[in-house]
Amino acid sequence: MKRPLESSVEKVYALAFGAHPDDVELACGATLLKIMSEGHSVAVCDLTRGEMGTLGTPETRKIESDAALEVMGYQSRTTLDLGDSKLFYTEENLAEIIRIIRHFRPDVVFANPADERHPDHSKASKLVTDAFYYAGLQQLSTTMNGTVQNPYRPQHLLYYVQFRHLEPDVIVDVSKTFDASRKGVLAFGSQFYREGSTEEPKTLIKRKEFLTGLEARARYFGEQVGVMYGEGFLLSGTLGIKSFSAAFPGKEVGSRQ
């Protein structure tokens, strides 16, 4: 983590979990920037250090995740050590995530999707989903730095889209923040293609086409809602609407759509 978490609550609007450093930036970074542009705070929690990654080292990932924190402007970034490629469903791992949720008390939580190519992503999804619920139980006790935490259950849980193509329930217009979000992605430079680098092992995301594919997906999602770029999310439950016109706004004056 960037710095030790305080015992007191560090309230944020949105808390984004990723199984590995870079998951969040690759899948929902532009949405997090949009949230911040609307005046809300965002925190990120990486469940592992990414120590089993083919490229780079845990030390490299630490430097890169700190760089992503700076360029993205999150309120906080926490890195747990739950075991890259050993992200098992245990009482201890579940408790660690519950502590993070109770510490930040977010309104919205983002998580890896359940149906994913990397087993850690699917395991992270299950852990965060269950922690989201259990964090609200009065009889489940947790402490942080010796201080007993109060129970807390966030309002909304959304799953971002990663490798597998999933039809989203919600598409966020990130046309104004997509370009800036690329800085967060590129902070993890050890993972991606670099011109002239021929000796490093090739991985799925090391391909020259990978970053182009990310943009293509954002353009595809954007096209579904009539904008330049979009990021898609699956809802964990049914979304209730309190303000109909806020959810279904009319056309702007002068719009030709």
CATH of the domain at 213: 3.40.50.10320
Query: Is residue 5 assigned to a domain?
Result: no
Query: Is residue 254 assigned to a domain?
Result: no
Q: What pLDDT shows up at residue 52?
A: 66
How far, in whole angstroms, is CA 238 from its chain's centroid? 21
Q: Please tell me the least confidently modeled range out of 23-37, 41-55, 75-89, 182-196.
A: 182-196
Query: Is residue 257 assigned to a domain?
Result: no
Q: How many CA atoms lie within 13 A of 209 on its CB side?
A: 4
What is the percent of the chain with per-residue pLDDT over 90, rounded to a whole number? 74
Query: Is residue 6 assigned to a domain?
Result: no
Query: Is residue 98 assigned to a domain?
Result: yes
Q: What pLDDT shows up at residue 1?
A: 46
Domain of 92, in residue numbers = 14-247
Query: Is residue 109 assigned to a domain?
Result: yes
Mean pLDDT for the chain overall = 90
List, for residues 214-255, the tens digit of each pLDDT value: 999 999 999 999 999 999 999 999 999 999 998 888 877 655
Query: Is residue 60 assigned to a domain?
Result: yes
Alpha-carbon distance values, 51 to 6, 47, 227 (Å): 26, 11, 38
Q: In angstroms, how far apart are the furthest CA atoms of the chain?
A: 59
Q: What pLDDT shows up at residue 187?
A: 92
- Is the pTM value of this prediction over 0.75? yes
User: How many residues does this entry show for the chain?
Assistant: 257
Query: Is residue 8 assigned to a domain?
Result: no
DSSP string computed for 12-49: -SEEEEESSTTHHHHHHHHHHHHHHHTT--EEEEESS-
- The domain tally of the chain equals 1
